[in-house]
Amino acid sequence: MTERPAAHLPFPPDFDRVLRAQDWEGLRKRLYAIAKWRKLSSFQASEIVDAVIVDCCDPNASPWNPNVEPDLVRHALRVLGNRLSDERRKDLVRSDPRNVAVVSELTAPPATPDQLLEDVEKRARDDRVIELTRAHLSGGVDAQVFDLSLDGIDGAAEQATRLQLPIDDIRRARKRVKYAIRAAIDDEASLWTNASDLLKIS
């Protein structure tokens, strides 16, 4: 006759009575001391110990079966070890810089209407400065250098390689682009000043 694996042995018929007879308070104190020794806070230790005790009694979790492991303490220590390992893995995941950034983004407070309006206005001003800058440029190399900068290709050497031009030509174009941007910013400031004056008219 094939011997039944220990893990599949049935629970005792009077299992409820066996559970009630255990020294759960004493077990809890031992588990709590171990959890605290693992550098958990008092709240974390209490929470994880309570979860271990529930698991030991829950048929769908990690129930203690006296027919498999007669020593409740030994069984509870294994369950606690598994719980602590899970917590360590979660801490590693939570502390991963990539996950920290995602959590920070997801839990950021929602923007207020004023903040949303400010963002929209800033994007509109940026777009106007870009268009005004283009208007100040003569086209050709200057416009190409400006477009490359907007695309994030802002190094003189890389721009020279992309446009297949001498780097001195690129440097001169970059100076003209800077002047055009300053002029565009001044134009934008003037537009806002004029708009503010108009708003004062009642």
Q: What is the pLDDT of residues 154-188, one digit of tens each?
A: 888 889 888 898 999 999 999 998 988 888 888 87
Asked whether residue 52 falls in the same domain as residue 81, the answer is yes
Domain boundary among 99, 121, 141: 99
Asked whether residue 182 falls in the same domain as residue 118, the answer is yes
The reported pLDDT for the residue numbered 101 is 60
- The answer to whether residue 118 sits within a structural domain is yes
| Distance (Å, whole) CA 46 – CA 53 | 11
Asked whether residue 84 falls in the same domain as residue 38, the answer is yes
- The answer to whether residue 107 sits within a structural domain is no
Asked whether residue 80 falls in the same domain as residue 119, the answer is no
Asked whether residue 42 falls in the same domain as residue 84, the answer is yes
Contact 87, 95 (CB under 8 A): no
Domain boundary among 65, 99, 133: 99
Asked whether residue 16 falls in the same domain as residue 86, the answer is yes
Q: What is the pLDDT of residues 54-73, one digit of tens each?
A: 999 888 888 899 888 889 99
Mean pLDDT for the chain? 79
Q: What residues make up the domain containing 131?
A: 113-200
| Distance (Å, whole) CA 136 – CA 130 | 10
Asked whether residue 125 falls in the same domain as residue 189, the answer is yes
The band of 74, judged by pLDDT with boundaries at 50, 70 and 90, is very high
| Distance (Å, whole) CA 133 – CA 149 | 13
- The answer to whether residue 104 sits within a structural domain is no
Q: What is the pLDDT of residues 89-113, one digit of tens each?
A: 776 655 555 655 655 555 556 666 6
Asked whether residue 94 falls in the same domain as residue 118, the answer is no
- Count of the separate structural domains present in the chain: 2
- The answer to whether residue 1 sits within a structural domain is no
- The answer to whether residue 108 sits within a structural domain is no
* pLDDT of 18 strictly over 60: yes
61's CB contacts (< 8 A; 6+ apart) are 54, 55
Q: What is the pLDDT of residues 120-129, one digit of tens each?
A: 777 777 888 8
Domain boundary among 73, 99, 125: 99
pTM of this structure: 0.43
Asked whether residue 81 falls in the same domain as residue 147, the answer is no
Asked whether residue 20 falls in the same domain as residue 91, the answer is yes
Asked whether residue 22 falls in the same domain as residue 66, the answer is yes
- The answer to whether residue 156 sits within a structural domain is yes
The band of 12, judged by pLDDT with boundaries at 50, 70 and 90, is confident
- The answer to whether residue 164 sits within a structural domain is yes
Asked whether residue 17 falls in the same domain as residue 58, the answer is yes
Question: Angle at Cα 42 formed by Cα 41 and Cα 45, nearest 5°?
Answer: 80
